[in-house]
Amino acid sequence: MVTSQISAESVEDVERLLRTVGQIIKKRGREILSDFEITPPQFDALLILIQNGVLTIGELGEKMYLACSTATDLVDRMERNGLVIRERDNLDRRVIRLRVLDRGHQMLAEVMAARKRYLADVLVKVSPEENRAMIMALTHLSELMAQEEVS
């Protein structure tokens, strides 16, 4: 573990820069979503469902920090739009699980492709060396933060 001290100014700079980048990506991401028939919460829900596999509405709500009633409303809209389907659990028929339909997978793939195009347009202005350094630094930061989540 690194024991060197980091200045308060460096911490402030990193926090501010990450917040700024996050806000820009969120804003641009919402603009991209406006070209598709999907809302930001539906996009987030699809990401979570595809990353985590089949979940209950309660589990999805927990991962999205939503009340059960809000998660249910979100799933109702997603089901009407043909993005997900509710299915009874094979082992416990009382449990309802959510499965992403082909349209949901396709929608997410299209949105992600648009988001990647946006980022590629920005990153083309960065040298390959800077790009590699950014990836290394962000990977390291992500790993350290993930370790903190587990602890």
Q: Which two tokens stand for residue 139?
A: 């990977």
Domain ranges of the chain: 31-125
pTM of the predicted model, to two decimals?
A: 0.85
Q: Could you tell me which CATH number the domain at 31-125 has?
A: 1.10.10.10
Give the pLDDT score at 1: 47
pLDDT tens string 68-101: 999 999 999 999 999 999 999 888 989 999 999 9
Distance CA 65, CA 58 (A): 10
Number of H helices, E strands in the chain: 6, 3
